[in-house]
Chain A
Amino acid sequence: MFRRVWYLFVKELIQALRDKRMRITLIIPPLFQLIVFGYAANLDVKHVRTAVRDLDQSVDSRDLIGRFGSSDYFDIVSFPQRPEEVKDLIDREQVLLSIEIPSDFSKKLKKGDTATVQIVVDGTDSNAALIALGYASQILSTYSTNVLVKRLNQAGAVDFEEAGVAIESRVWFNPNLESRLFYVPAVIALVAFLIPIILTAQAVVREREIGTLEQIMVTPIRSWELVVGKTAPFAMLGVLDMIGIALVGVFWFGIPLNGNPLVLFLGAVLFLISSVSVGLFISTISSTQQQAQVATFFFTLPAVNLSGFAFPIESMPDWVQVLTYANPLRYFLVVIRGVFLKGIGLDILWPQMAALALLGGIMILLSSLRFRKRLK
């Protein structure tokens, strides 16, 4: 009995690895994703290109501009003369932010009035704009406070101190807030998701397409043995691919592996049951390899984007959030990021593991039933 499964297992492995297209599928897309998410997916905002229009040209205005220029967040790249130039610079995406200091800036400061500073930001990239605005207001308000304290001290209040709160922030798991640490573990999950689906769907449909499925039917193999023999090799290839990507992630991109790899392995095994079931299911609804390809594409595209791999689930509308509960990738991402970055174990991750086991069980049951029916 196990012999029959074993033979099928070996046959599938040989068949998959001898196919050049399959070998490419195993290596190129995962590597591409790794490179993009390791290097390109970067939402950090630093060195914001900034234009300054200083109409005052005083010691005070230069002091304020210096504070922007010397910070890590702003690079002052242009000093436009006319307001139209500012608009043009922003239109052409030469600068993201522009600061305008009015001509009465230092006069008002000296008189004890409120001097205004005008800040314009290009909101097109809302995320970058939001973060840049935060930095700018931070610098302005520090400057303002310094002036206030100076005024009070001049007015005779010795050692005036601000009242209020100071924020002491501690960032856990990713102290330098690097996007890479968020995305690279997700690529490992993506690979464990996509590879088994693609390979399983293709392998079954190819056999149907070239007519060898009938030959297998006349052998004494039972249908559940066929299911196991047809899916296990691809789950295994998925695991191997995953380990390869994980090693690159840890040693090349420096992603910390804080937790227990065995927990990760357990999660991966549970998760792969879902992946191969999806592949098996796709094979039952397609009669040609090409159809299987298109079906795979249109199944995995929403599944990947509704998993929280790049776009936080909490920000999605409620009805979309409900859909994500049926997505195994969602849970596996929590497991993989939890183990890598947070270093947490089963005591915390058990609900995700349970969800993965449950979804995997339901999906393998449904797709093997459908697969058996389709065989008859």
Chain B
Amino acid sequence: MKLSRTWAISKKEFFHIYRDPRSLALIILMPALLMLLFGYAITIDVRNVSIAVLDRDRTQESLTFIQRFSASPYFSLHTFVQDEKQITRLIDEGKVKMGLVLPWDFSKVIKAGKTASVQILVDGTDSNTANILLGYVQAVARQYTQEKTFLKVGRMGTQHLILPVDGRTRVWFNEELESKNYFIPGLITVIMSIIGVLLTGQVIVREWEKGTMELLISTPVRKVELMIGKLFPYFIVGLLDMSLTVWMAKQIFEVPLRGSIPLLFLVSSVYILTALGLGMVISTVARTQLLANQMSMIIGFLPTFLLSGFTFSISNMPPWLQAITTVIAPRYHVTIVKMIFLKGLGFSYLWRETLILAAMAVAGLWVATLKFKKELR
């Protein structure tokens, strides 16, 4: 392998990128746009959920209880209704997600020191939101019950009683429990995959389609030199996009970056090679640019988006699907990026993932070189 020949190929490829305004736009604008779009759109935090209230009691007591909901950031009071049918209607129309029904004897029961039963009607269509809502409601009810019980105990004057068990909870790594901190690091992987596969998916097949491959074949350049020379410019592009997306994650979306930045880039450059390798394989296998494009989008995008653990955690999937995810390279990078960003972990925790990615990169390049025939077809 000769460095001068490899470099000549790289230089040519650099000019291709630089002189084609569309590919330049793809490289700079697309990651930024995708980052903005997904960064703002992908959130499953539950906030401002509209609720309807049927207060059959209408006393000071019931009103203060309702205020515990309306005052919290999680709920927003849509309307007071007169009967249960209206709640049904509002939930059917999708105007509220939850109905709260207070019985007519609410304040009487509370004043008597007993337990009033409050009914909650939840729209379960969006199961996750419903689940979180139920958790919030339970928490509000618990707090209220605790206060009322202590008041009652105090009135009984039996003896000084305090809370028997106090749970002190601490949340690590994502203290405010914001879903953006979970999604955005993974988003970096998704964008790198799309860009990497989409760009390199074209490089070999384009030469064939335009007929310039004939010229390249007649030069003394070797297969390996051609592959590496073609890859290098896109590797630089990948690093550039990596820097852009990491910067956006940190500055615009304020995701904490606790780990070492050099480590993040070092490990990610291995992943860039993996993605480029996959693109190279597509490029040597596909006969037309059109097909290469379609393959890149289906292979580069769908599995990365849905099976890498970026949005849906892998441990929740059925075992046979978990087994499939082990061959999906982005899965390992998603883990790495999340770990470095949020947990600030070092290489001793990440070497396994890095090793798998490196093996995949080598395999991809090997297959691409093998598949590539330096002869006319």
Q: Is A42 an interface residue (CB 8 A)?
A: yes
CB-CB under 8 A from B115, the residues of chain A are: 161-166
Q: How far is the CB of B167 from chain A (nearest CB, A)?
A: 4
Interface residues of B in 303-356 (CB under 8 A from A): 306-307, 311-313, 316-318, 321, 338-339, 342-343, 345, 349
Do residues B293 and A290 form an inter-chain contact, with CB atoms below 8 A? yes
Tell me, yes or no, whether A126 is within 8 Å of chain B by CB: yes
Interface string of B45-66 (1 = CB under 8 A from A): 1111110000000000000010
**Shortest CB distance B150–A (Å):** 9
A342 contacts across to B, CB distance below 8 A: 92, 125
Q: Which residues of B contact A310 (CB under 8 A)?
A: 311
Query: Is A84 an interface residue, CB under 8 A from the partner?
Result: no
In chain A, residues 257-302, which have Cβ atoms closer than 8 Å to a Cβ of chain B?
289-290, 293-294, 297-298, 301-302
Q: Which residues B45-104 have CB closer than 8 A to chain A?
A: 45-50, 65, 89, 91-94
B3 contacts A by Cβ under 8 Å:
no
CB atoms of A137 and B128 under 8 A apart: no
Whether a CB of chain A sits under 8 angstroms from the CB of B28 is no
User: Is A123 a contact partner of B40 (Cβ separation < 8 A)?
Assistant: no
Of A116, A118, A163, chain B has the most CB atoms within 10 Å of the CB of A163
Q: Give every chain A residue within 8 A of B162 (Cβ-Cβ).
A: 112-114
Q: Among the listed B37, B127, B134, B302, which residue makes an inter-chain contact with A178, where contact means beta carbons less than 8 Å apart?
A: B127
Check if B182 sits within 8 Å of A125, measured CB to CB. yes
Does B164 contact A148, Cβ atoms closer than 8 Å? yes
Known pairs A133-B171, A163-B145; A144 contacts B128 (CB<8 A) = no
Give chain A residues whose Cβ lies under 8 Å from the Cβ of B166.
Answer: 114-117, 144
B174 and A151 contact, CB distance less than 8 A: no
Chain A residues near B293: list those with CB within 8 A. Answer: 290, 293-294
Is B291 in contact with chain A by the CB < 8 A criterion?
Answer: yes
Interface: A140 (CB within 8 A): yes
Q: Which residues of B contact A10 (CB under 8 A)?
A: none
Residue B247 lies at the interface, judged by CB distance under 8 Å to chain A: no
Q: Is A40 positioned at the interface, with any CB of B under 8 Å from its CB?
A: yes
Q: Which of A218-226, A227-235, A241-249, A313-321 has 4 or more CB atoms under 8 Å from chain B?
A: A313-321
- Encoded as 1 (CB less than 8 Å from any B CB) or 0, chain A from 122 to 158 comes to 1111111111011111101101110110011001110
Q: Are A167 and B318 in contact (CB under 8 A)?
A: no
B376 within 8 A of A: no
With CB as the reference atom, state the residue of chain A lying closest to B165: A144
Write out the residue numbers on chain B whose beta carbons fall within 8 Å of the beta carbon of A134.
132, 135-136, 138-139
Complex partner residue of A43 from B110, B118, B146, B312, CB under 8 angstroms: B312
Tell me, in angstroms, the Cα distance from A306 to B317 when the chains sit together. Answer: 25
Contact of B41 with A311 in the complex, beta carbons under 8 Å: yes
Q: Are A338 and B312 also in contact (CB < 8 A) when A21-B294, A119-B168 are?
A: no
Complex CA–CA separation, A114 to B149 (angstroms): 16
Q: Which residues of A contact B172 (CB under 8 A)?
A: 90, 120-123
**Any B CB within 8 A of the CB of A32:** yes
A182 with B126, Cβ < 8 A, contacts A117-B166, A126-B177, A129-B171 known: yes
- With the chains together, A173 CA to B121 CA distance in Å? 11
- Decide yes or no whether A346 CB sits under 8 A from chain B: no
Contact partner, A164, options B110, B177, B342, Cβ 8 Å: B110
Bound: A92/B159 CA distance, A: 47
Complex CA distance for A141 and B144, rounded to whole angstroms: 12
- Known A-B contacts A116-B166, A305-B37; the reply to A91 vs B158 at CB < 8 A is no
Whether the pair A136, B137 counts as a contact (CB closer than 8 A) is: no
Question: What's the Cα separation between A289 and B301 when bound, in Å?
Answer: 19
- How distant is the Cα of A166 from the Cα of B142 in the complex, in angstroms? 8
The answer to whether A144 touches B177, judged by C-beta atoms less than 8 angstroms apart, is no
Interface hits, A16-34 → B, CB 8 Å: 21, 28-29, 32-33
Residues of B within 8 A of A115 (CB): 164-166
Set of chain B residues within 8 Å of A35, measured between Cβ atoms: 321
Question: How many residues on B have C-beta within 8 angstroms of the other chain's C-beta atoms?
Answer: 106
Residue numbers in A under 8 Å from B178 (CB-CB): 126
Kindly provide the distance from the CB of B174 to the nearest chain A CB, expressed in whole angstroms. Answer: 3
Assess A152 versus B168: contact at CB under 8 Å? Given A29-B298, A168-B118.
no
> A53 on the interface (CB 8 Å rule)?
no
Q: Is the CB of A119 within 8 A of B148?
A: no
Q: Give residues 175-195 of B contacting A (CB, 8 Å).
A: 175, 177-179, 181-182
Assess the A320–B40 pair: CB atoms within 8 A: yes
Verify A173–B124 contact, CB threshold 8 A.
Answer: yes
Contacts of B113 in A (CB 8 A): 161, 163
Tell me whether A172 and B148 are in contact (CB under 8 A). no
Known: A152-B161, A163-B152. A169 touches B321 (CB 8 A): no
For B137, the closest partner residue in chain A by CB is A167
Which of B49, B94, B141, B313 lies in contact with A334, CB distance below 8 A? B94
Asked if A40 and B307 sit within 8 Å, CB to CB, the answer is yes
A237 lies within 8 A of chain B by Cβ: no
Asked if B122 is at the interface of the complex by the 8 Å CB criterion, the answer is: yes
A40 touches B170 (CB 8 A): no
Identify which of B40, B153, B163 contacts A152 (C-beta below 8 A): B153
Contact B47 A91 (CB under 8 A): no
Q: Closest Cβ of chain A: how far from B176's Cβ, in Å?
A: 8
The yes or no answer to A179 lying at the interface (CB within 8 A) is: yes
The answer for the CA separation of A60 and B211 in the assembled complex, in Å, is 80
Q: Residue A44 at the B interface, CB < 8 A?
A: yes
Give chain B residues whose Cβ lies under 8 Å from the Cβ of A120.
Answer: 169-172
* A112 vs B153: C-alpha distance when bound (angstroms): 14
5 residue pairs bridging A and B, Cβ less than 8 Å apart:
A90-B172, A119-B167, A126-B45, A134-B135, A173-B125
20 additional A-B residue pairs with CB within 8 Å, beyond A166-B141, A169-B120:
A44-B128, A64-B165, A90-B172, A91-B339, A116-B168, A117-B168, A123-B171, A125-B182, A134-B136, A144-B166, A164-B145, A165-B117, A165-B118, A172-B123, A177-B127, A290-B290, A302-B37, A314-B50, A316-B40, A342-B92
9 pairs of A and B residues whose beta carbons are closest in the complex: A164-B145, A134-B135, A123-B174, A174-B124, A147-B164, A144-B165, A163-B148, A171-B124, A177-B127
Residues of A within 8 A of B (CB): 21, 28-29, 32-33, 35-37, 39-45, 64, 90-92, 109, 112-131, 133-138, 140-141, 143-145, 147-148, 151-152, 155-157, 161-175, 177-179, 181-182, 289-290, 293-294, 297-298, 301-302, 305-306, 310-312, 314-317, 320, 334, 337-338, 341-342, 344, 348
